[in-house]
Amino acid sequence: MSGAFRDDEHARKCIRCLTCLPLLPADDISNVVTDLEALVSVSNETNKPLLRRLLQYIQHSWLLKATIGPQRLSVSGSTQRTNNGVESFHAGFRRLVKVSHPSFYGFVEYLQEMTLSNMADVQRLNTSRRIRRPKKKSNVIIIIIIIIIRNLYNAIMPLVTALHVTQQAVTLL
């Protein structure tokens, strides 16, 4: 797959489009997959079978599967587009446990400790207090740069202004 992505522009475009399918409205996903099948047909002969298998996998494992389908696959218009909350909880839990296979009772104790910590976070939120330290300055700068790039892409901001604001943001690092 990496060779197809590297050497064949049609394959690269097809793969990139497939990674963006969840960002589309659910009603558009099937039409885009049909368009991608047409793109595969003009792809390099050696890559066609590979790309067809990839499209077939996505259709059978994601789109046609009764438990998923386009409605559940699409995050268009959704406020929760990722599983970052789950990933964050899991990373925090791993930091707390520090061993790969704790005993059952140790595991239960870690769960209780994590639950108490999360309940304290909820209490802080209910009293309008912070639950986490403020974001690092470098993270804020990166967010500013991403917003500038989006504005530039959407033609909201002229290139010269974008470059000037980006340069100012970088000097804050």
Q: What is the pLDDT of residues 15-36, one digit of tens each?
A: 888 888 888 888 888 888 888 8
In the structure encoding, which two tokens stand for residue 7, read together?
Answer: 């050497």
Question: What is the model's pLDDT at position 104?
Answer: 92
Residue 14 and residue 50 share a domain: yes
Question: What is the model's pLDDT at position 173?
Answer: 54
Place of tokens 């696959």: 73
Residue 69 and residue 7 share a domain: yes
Nearest to 8 by CA among 37, 48, 35: 48
Question: What is the model's pLDDT at position 138?
Answer: 59
CA angle 54, 55, 56 (to 5 degrees): 90
Which stretches of the chain are DSSP H helices? 2-7, 9-19, 26-41, 48-58, 69-73, 84-97, 104-126, 137-153, 159-172
Residue 168 and residue 147 share a domain: yes
Cβ–Cβ < 8 Å for 155, 169: no
Q: Which residue among 47, 73, 99 closes a domain? A: 73
Place of tokens 């409605």: 71
Question: What is the model's pLDDT at position 130?
Answer: 79
Tell me if 79 is assigned to some domain.
Answer: no
| Structural domain boundaries, residue 162 | 137-172
